Amino acid sequence: MNARAAAVAELERRIGVPFRDRELLERALTHASVGDGARAVGHYERLEFLGDRVLNLLAAERLMALDDKAREGQMSRLLAALVNFHACARVARRIGLPDALRLSASATKIGARALDSVLGDACEALIGAIYIDAGLEAARTFFLTFWEEEFADLDAPTIKDPKTQLQEWAQARGLPLPAYGLVGRSGPDHAPQFVVQVTIEGFEAEQAEGRSKQEAEKAAAMTMLLKREGSQ
């Protein structure tokens, strides 16, 4: 048994779902980069679409059960904390999904196996595959087991994201709101890199990179915050 086959077997053992449809499991663990070029390879994007919907349902169901007096706005905030690619990536690492992933050599070379965006998508695809292969109850068991730590962290203090912090910094000084603009994009479609610039009137613009425009915007905001606060 090669290393990846052993990792797939270990993944099944950890999640407690022995897949009947082996092709389905393989598709759930195959990144789109494997299909680059002339070969047509089934990858996880369609399963990711399904898994995202199943995950949202299960998280909403659990939040409703935990607090029958919670308002819609509060539950929406908690749902966003439970269902995002960072949370899914943490779960992916807990179950040993990175080693079971099938990626192209080029994606592996640039470190895609360690990216939260890749692992988060793959985790959602796995949930979709569990739903198809073993049903909603199996998907619910998976969710309740491996999202336990995410629920435990819901009461942890919330740290505002850098864009919110920068906006509040500007408002406190009577300045116009920060403006963000995309100034560059590079890399293949399955692993792009974005360069974003943030400007505030009266200050030097700052740039930063990220795997998505949103991530690059947050990085640029943090760069500006650190420089502005460091100069005070």
pLDDT digits (tens, 9 = 90+) for 167-179: 988 888 889 999 9
Q: Which fold has domain 162-230?
A: Double Stranded RNA Binding Domain (3.30.160)
What is the reported pLDDT for 48? 95
Tell me how far apart the alpha carbons of residues 41 and 23 are, in angstroms, rounded to a whole number. Answer: 11
- Alpha-helical (H) ranges within the chain are 3-15, 22-28, 45-66, 72-82, 85-94, 97-100, 105-109, 116-134, 136-146, 148-152, 162-172, 213-230
Average of per-residue pLDDT across 199-227: 88
Average of per-residue pLDDT across 3-14: 94
pLDDT digits (tens, 9 = 90+) for 17-35: 999 999 999 999 999 888 7
- Intervals of CATH 1.10.1520.10 along the chain: 3-155
Query: Hey, which residues are catalytic here?
Result: 52, 124
Q: Calculate what percentage of the chain has a pLDDT beyond 70.
A: 93
Average of per-residue pLDDT across 101-119: 90
Name the CATH superfamily housing domain 3-155. Ribonuclease III domain (1.10.1520.10)
pTM, two decimals, is: 0.68
Tell me how far apart the alpha carbons of residues 46 and 89 are, in angstroms, rounded to a whole number. Answer: 18
Displacement of CA 51 from its chain's centroid (Å)? 13
- Intervals of CATH 3.30.160.20 along the chain: 162-230
